[in-house]
Amino acid sequence: MFDTHFDLLTIAYKAYLTNDYSYLEKISHYFHDSNVRGVIANLYFMDRDEMDREVTPGYYRDDVSVLEMFTKAKEVLDSFLPDTEIIYSIEGCDYISGTDELEALSEAGLDSIILCWNTENKYGSGNRSSKGLTLEGRSFVSKAIELGLGIDLSHANEKTFYDLCDLIEEKQNEGYEVVTYASHSNVRNLCDRDRNLKDEQLERIKSIGALVGVFSHKNFIVDPSMWNDEVDTRKMYLEHINYLKDIVGFDSIITSTDDMEFCGWYDPQYYSTSIYPYASIGTELYSDLEKSFGSNNASNIIYENVKNKIWNRIKINKNKGRGVK
């Protein structure tokens, strides 16, 4: 499996701050035992109070730059997952000072960005706001594309989503090969949550050659109107993939977990709604995909699409000269 959204850099930085690496040791066993070969690992940022409550007090401090946090988190994570294919990402670019720090982050190993979490920042807006991409955000994302970074569309509200798609298309027309995807965004027509994508958004994703990551949490798979019903969550997870195949095609579908077990003490309801246990997700998810869609499609969805269309392409883009068309 290649898990396209897991907040592992945040977990690594928390471990560094608290000097407690037990959860990372647990994760390393999970990855080995459940055949998780790759991951998009995120260092995430949100409202400061939320970060302190959800992660640990002092997770973000004004006297420590995002670059310093990222560098330390990457160092820690690499020591626990030395044989894993890792795409290093920042989720919520709120505290990145600007394009100079973004370039320094790229040099330090950053591969991808999610412009905003649910909240509004100086670059764009998530689902708690209706605003779109700002002028500063347009410059910031343009620089990210020119550096060869992946652009993750998850969490953007509709206005920011379409602004990002339009900018990505502009840069593609200029000759840039933009690696873009929505790493953890399911189908709105099947589950009416504002983080899920409407059909029109999925069509737009198809038009710019982006991929869609279906993530395995009940609250974003099962419509809120059915939360109190007895439902087969795995069957409904597969329904999202079946729906997507008719819009974007099997070659543009990927899988993620957004696993939140690490902060289960803070939000037990969220992390307890995972559809697959991480200790066996690679084998169990592949088995379900194979039964429903065949072995070739299962392999593409669970690993090959990410490996070939995100991992390889980001590496090529970053190695060919940073910003060279």
Q: Could you tell me the domains of the chain?
A: 2-319 (3.20.20.140)
User: Which residue type sits at 141?
Assistant: V
Q: Which residues of the chain have pLDDT under 50?
A: none
Residue range 93-152, pLDDT digits in tens: 999 999 999 999 999 999 999 999 999 999 999 988 889 999 999 999 999 999 999 999
> Do 9 and 70 meet the contact criterion of CB atoms below 8 Å apart?
yes
The neighbour count for residue 131, using CB atoms within 10 Å, is 15
pLDDT at 325: 55
Q: Which of these, 134, 141, 178, 176, lies nearest to 159 by C-alpha position?
A: 134
Alpha helix ranges (H) inside 175-273: 199-207, 218-221, 233-245, 268-271
Nearby residues of 36 by Cβ (< 8 Å), 6 or more positions away: 1, 2, 3, 30, 84, 281, 282
pLDDT at 266: 56
pLDDT at 56: 86
DSSP, collapsed to helix, strand or coil, labels residue 325 as: coil
Q: Which of these, 238, 236, 241, lies nearest to 212 by C-alpha position?
A: 241
pLDDT at 47: 86
Residue range 164-184, pLDDT digits in tens: 999 999 999 999 999 999 999
Q: Is the pTM of this model over 0.85?
A: yes
Q: 157 φ, ψ to 5°?
A: -70, 175
